[in-house]
Amino acid sequence: MAEEKGLFGKLFGKKEPEEELEETARKAAETAKHEAEVAAEKVKHEVEDVAENAKRAAEDARDKVEAEAHHIADEAQAKVKEVTEANARRVAEADRYKVEAEARQAEYEARRAAEKATAFIGEHTVTADDTLSHIALKYYGHATPPYYKLIYEANKDIIGDNMNIIVPGQVLRIPALPDELK
């Protein structure tokens, strides 16, 4: 078919190759621009998602650290309470031991005072030829160990640790016989 070149042909006919290239380039540029905008929007959403996830992760980490800090603080308070209670028990126990020791001391002193206040039947001044058994025989009529040991125990502070050594001039108190020796 023959090509029409009139006004009508120019308007509706084939376009020149140069115009066709420009139109194709413009459409390709528009398509590329549109694809770039879509890609930019997609990247923007991905960056926002990553930022949101990072923000959530940071909040979760902060919450976890705060919870751990509270847990550690609670444990520390419990430990302080435990140590305080243990110290209070030790102080109470020490006070109890002190009271018990004071009671034992008072009991001991009362016993010693009672022993000292024990009825004595007399005093004996040691001579050069005396022994505890001779003194026991003189006052109790017996020279056996229970009797002379009674005199020794009553005078231990005067005689000393060795009952076999008595010194002339010492004044010994002679205790009354207890019921089991009478």
Instruction: Give the start-to-end residue ranges of the domains of the chain.
Output: 18-117, 120-181
Instruction: Identify which of 110, 108, 105, 116 has the alpha carbon closest to the alpha carbon of residue 157.
Output: 116
Structure confidence at residue 76 (pLDDT):
92
CATH of 120-181, one of 3.30.70, 3.40.50, 3.30.300, 3.10.350: 3.10.350
Structure confidence at residue 16 (pLDDT):
62
The CA-based dihedral angle spanning residues 126, 128, 132, 137, taken in that order and rounded to the nearest 10 degrees: -90
pLDDT tens-digit readout, 38-79 = 998 999 899 999 989 989 999 999 999 999 999 999 999 999
pLDDT tens-digit readout, 73-114 = 999 999 999 999 999 999 999 999 999 999 999 988 887 777
C-alpha to C-alpha distances, 27 to 21, 31, 39, 157, nearest whole angstrom: 10, 6, 18, 130
Assess whether pLDDT exceeds 80 at residue 171: yes
Provide the whole-model pTM: 0.39
Assess whether pLDDT exceeds 50 at residue 2: no
